[in-house]
Structure formats: C-alpha cells, structure tokens
C-alpha cells in the first residue's frame, strides 16, 4: 500500500503541474481502502466479505462549471483528467468562486488507541457476530428474528490540488448494528442498538449488555399499552437529542441546502433567534476521537469547530469552499465524500448541543402529564418537519416517571421545537452510532451529542 501511494503522490504532483493551466481549479484524489462486512440474519449468513479497492477521482472547475471523472487504474489517470477538464470547460459560463484556504502539505493519520481491526482474522469477527446473535436469542423465546451486522474500513487518501495542497491522510472506522424482533400472536415489536468507533477493535467486543437490551426492549414492549396520542411536554434523553440536532437541524445548516433554496436561505438568516438563550449548537471535525473527526476535509480544508447557534441565535452554517465563496462566508471544513466514486458535498461531522445547567431530575418537575422518551428506533425528516420513533418511553405524571408505554413517535417543526425548549439538562452523551445519508452517499460516519432536553407542545403519535 505504502509503495503504491508513494508512487502515486509523485505522479500527482507532475500531473497537477502539467494540467492546472487549463482550468481555474484542479484536484486529484487517490484512495486505497480495505474493509470487512458481515451480516447475519438469524442462522443465515447474508454477507461475509473482505475487500480491497484502489481508485480515485478528478475534480476540475472552469468558470464555475465542474467536471468529475473517477478511475480504478492509475494508468488511466491522464485520460480521466482530460475528461474532467473537458466537461468543466463545456459547462462553465460564470465565475469560479471558491473561498480561499491556505495550501498545506501534510501526512496525518487518526490514531488508534487499541487493536487495529485489520489485525483481527475474519473468522474471529464472525465468531463475535455469532456470539451476539446467540445473546439476542437467549433473552426470550418470543424473539423470532435477529440481525447482527459488523463492518470495518480503513482508508488512506492522497489529495493534490492546483493551489499547492498535498495531503496524505488515513483513518480506520468500525460499526456494529443489532436488531431483535419479538412476536406474541399479532403483536410485533423491534428493538435496535448501534455503536461505532474510530479508536479500537476492543470497543466492539464487550457489548453484551447493550446487545441484550435491544432484545429486552422488544420483549417488554409486547405487553405495554400504546401511548395516547396528544400534545405533551416531553423530556428526551441525550441519544434522542443527538438524533434531533443531527437530523432535524443539522441538515438545514448545510449551506448547499440554503443557497440552492432561496426560501430556506431566508429562513436560515444569520442573526435570527431560534431558541432560548441557553441553547448552544456546534458542529466540527476538530474534536478528537469521534466518528466524524478528521484533520482535513476532502477539499483539503482544515477541520474546525463551527458554532451554529449561540445563545439561541443562528450564527453560522456548514460549508464547502464553493458554498462559502457563493455566500461570502468562511469555509468550515465540511466538504466530505463517502469514497472516490462521489464528489465532496457539504456534510455534518460531529454535531452537538452543549450541556445546560438544569439537573436532569428537575427536568420533570411540574409536568402534570407528559412523556419521557429514550433512545431511537427510527425516524425521518422532510425539510423542516421531522418524525422520530423512540426506542422506549414512559408517561410522566405529576413530575414523576410513571408507567412504560410503546409506539411513541415525536413529530414537529424543527424551528418551533427549538423555540419550545424549556430546559437543557446538565448531562451529556456522545453517540457514535451515526451513519449519515445525503445525495446518494449513505453511511458516512458522524458523531452526535447532547444533554437531556425538556420541550413543550410536542406532538406524540399513538392511540387516540
């Protein structure tokens, strides 16, 4: 691997020098990746594979028009460069606006704190999945369906640009997903758990309690009453907070969403009040050790931490160099691509709501009838509207957690929901289970975090 990339690095420098005069901007990205994918559904092995891939893409920009060409063989890179340049010159008819960044030359690798999954045999990874499958089944005879998925990937990327940037960056990412479905007559309930790491294989091998909890929640929900649909004051745990800030608010902060949609750009006006003064929201790849962390994005912009909401007021958004240039703002290092088959687009990294000052127990005080929701089961967003399903939930009665209920969905408008935050807990949790999808690039690793929140006037779906 090292020899291939070293040779490629020298080649890229020569190619950039030769072709850069034909366009306003030229970037070549070469990637070597290897990984494992295992999927067990009950006794059936649906996927059991290891793979290595080498490829790259070229991005050329001329008068605001972009050309993209990808390749799997270095021997064809000259032809692909010429294709990308020809495409850019064909469509370009405006002005190339890329926010400036300082060219950088760097070699960097996200450090592992434990075992590299590439050092673990495939058979051992399969045994881990088998053990978790048996744990799911062992919880109760009413568990009828299980699934366990393991994946790891290591990527090494060389990025060279016509501006003088030359970066050699590498990382390793791991993820596991668990699901158990319980059935009792016509009643069917499912529990899920997901976890991930960019630190160590060991982070995936001691998950027995987390795995069993997915099955336990599915079994317990079989006998629970459904929540009565209504509008409630709701307390959500940090995992749901992380899901909310990522899915409902984070995507609206991605600047390509805004500059392509004038109505949204008007709504997302910098300086607008969106929440209480205590509300602080951030995104950034600079914090170390999370699944959305890196040193440089896929345009060579250094990782940053961007404050999106300060004291309840919108103060920032997430950018690629192009969106920053078009909106006359600073690049934030949020241009990411899943792999060399795709062009970088504006994506979140690690997104979080800062912890507040309210003790968690006090979040329930004064709620005559409400809902306490924890964990997540699923969800969807459509612009500024969202619907999330809680993994488990309880009624709140007279300020106390009362009976457990099932089929709890939380719906609303993200802007109104932010405004309806009544209190922010003093707890905090990082959820490393995120795999974000956008523009056909699904499963991009991200981190989410936050404290517990108390929110009024939340529409909770259930039985009427």
Q: What is the rounded average pLDDT of the residues 344-353?
A: 97
Q: What is the pLDDT of residue 1?
A: 42
Same domain, 58 and 180: yes
**Domain with 27 in it: what CATH number?**
3.30.2290.10
Same domain, 309 and 385: yes
Q: What is the pLDDT of residue 448?
A: 95
Same domain, 188 and 258: no
Same domain, 166 and 234: no
Q: What is the pLDDT of residue 259?
A: 83
pTM, two decimals, is 0.95
Q: What is the rounded average pLDDT of the residues 370-380?
A: 91
Q: What is the pLDDT of residue 2?
A: 42
Collect all residues with Cβ–Cβ distance below 8 Å to 310 and sequence separation of at least 6: 280
Residue at a domain's end among 221, 246, 280? 221
141-199 pLDDT, tens digit per residue, is: 999 999 999 999 999 999 999 999 999 999 999 999 999 999 999 999 999 999 999 99
Same domain, 178 and 247: no
Residue at a domain's end among 221, 247, 278? 221
How many folded domains does the chain comprise?
A: 2
Residue 5 has pLDDT above 90, yes or no: no
Same domain, 365 and 249: yes
182-194 pLDDT, tens digit per residue, is: 999 999 999 999 9
Residue 3 has pLDDT above 60, yes or no: no
Q: What is the pLDDT of residue 84?
A: 98
Same domain, 121 and 264: no
Residue 464 has pLDDT above 60, yes or no: no
Same domain, 362 and 416: yes
Q: What is the rounded average pLDDT of the residues 369-373?
A: 98
Residue at a domain's end among 221, 252, 268? 221
Same domain, 168 and 310: no
Task: Give me the percent of the chain exceeding a pLDDT of 70.
Answer: 98
Summary mean pLDDT of the chain:
94
Q: What is the rounded average pLDDT of the residues 297-309?
A: 98
Q: What is the rounded average pLDDT of the residues 212-221?
A: 96
Residue 9 has pLDDT above 80, yes or no: no
Selected residue with higher pLDDT from 47 and 382: 47
Residue 266 has pLDDT above 50, yes or no: yes
Same domain, 163 and 236: no
Q: What is the pLDDT of residue 463?
A: 62
Q: What is the pLDDT of residue 74?
A: 86
Query: pLDDT-derived band of residue 4, with 50, 70 and 90 as boundaries?
Result: low
Same domain, 234 and 216: no
Same domain, 21 and 112: yes
Residue 359 has pLDDT above 90, yes or no: yes
69-88 pLDDT, tens digit per residue, is: 999 988 899 999 999 999 99
The parent domain of residue 441 ranges over 230-461
């Amino acid at each position: 691997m090292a020899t291939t990339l070293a040779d490629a690095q020298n080649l890229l420098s020569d190619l950039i020098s030769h072709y850069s005069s034909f366009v306003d901007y030229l970037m070549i990205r070469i990637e070597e990746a290897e990984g494992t994918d295992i999927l067990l559904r009950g006794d059936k092995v649906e996927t059991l594979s290891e793979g290595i891939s080498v490829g790259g893409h070229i991005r050329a920009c001329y008068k605001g028009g972009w050309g993209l060409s990808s390749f799997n063989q270095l021997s064809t890179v000259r032809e692909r460069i010429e294709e990308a340049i020809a495409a850019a010159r064909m469509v370009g008819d405006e002005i190339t606006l890329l926010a400036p960044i300082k060219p950088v030359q760097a070699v960097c690798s996200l450090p592992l704190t434990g075992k590299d999954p590439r050092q673990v045999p495939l058979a051992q990874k399969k045994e881990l999945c088998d053990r978790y499958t048996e744990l799911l089944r062992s919880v109760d005879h009413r568990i009828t369906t299980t699934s366990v998925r393991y994946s790891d990937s290591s990527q090494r990327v060389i990025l060279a640009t016509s501006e003088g940037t030359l970066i050699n960056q590498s990382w390793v990412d791991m993820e596991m997903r668990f699901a158990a479905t319980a059935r009792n007559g016509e009643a069917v309930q499912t529990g899920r758990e997901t976890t991930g790491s960019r630190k160590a294989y060991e982070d995936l091998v001691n998950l027995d309690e987390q795995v069993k909890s997915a099955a336990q929640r599915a079994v317990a929900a079989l006998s629970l009453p459904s929540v009565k649909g209504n509008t409630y004051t709701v307390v959500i745990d940090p995992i749901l907070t992380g899901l909310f800030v990522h899915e409902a608010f984070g995507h609206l902060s991605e600047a390509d969403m805004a500059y392509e949609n004038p109505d949204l750009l008007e709504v997302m006006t910098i300086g607008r009040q969106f929440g209480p003064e205590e509300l602080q929201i951030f995104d950034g790849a600079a914090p170390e050790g999370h699944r959305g962390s890196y040193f440089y994005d896929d345009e060579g912009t250094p990782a940053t931490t961007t404050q999106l909401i300060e004291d309840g007021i919108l103060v920032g958004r997430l950018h690629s160099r192009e969106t920053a240039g078009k909106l006359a703002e600073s690049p934030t290092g949020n241009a990411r691509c899943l792999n060399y088959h795709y062009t970088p687009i504006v994506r979140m990294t690690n997104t979080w709501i800062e912890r507040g000052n309210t003790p968690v127990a006090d979040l329930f005080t004064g709620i005559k009838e409400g809902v306490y929701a924890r964990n997540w089961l699923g969800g969807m967003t459509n612009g500024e509207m969202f619907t999330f399903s809680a993994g488990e939930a309880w009624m709140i009665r007279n300020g106390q957690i009362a009976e457990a209920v099932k089929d709890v969905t939380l719906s609303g408008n993200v802007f109104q929901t932010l405004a309806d935050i009544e209190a922010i807990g003093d707890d905090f949790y990082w959820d490393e289970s995120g795999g974000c999808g956008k523009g056909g690039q699904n499963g991009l690793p991200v981190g989410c975090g936050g404290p517990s929140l108390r929110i009024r006037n939340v529409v909770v779906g259930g039985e009427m």
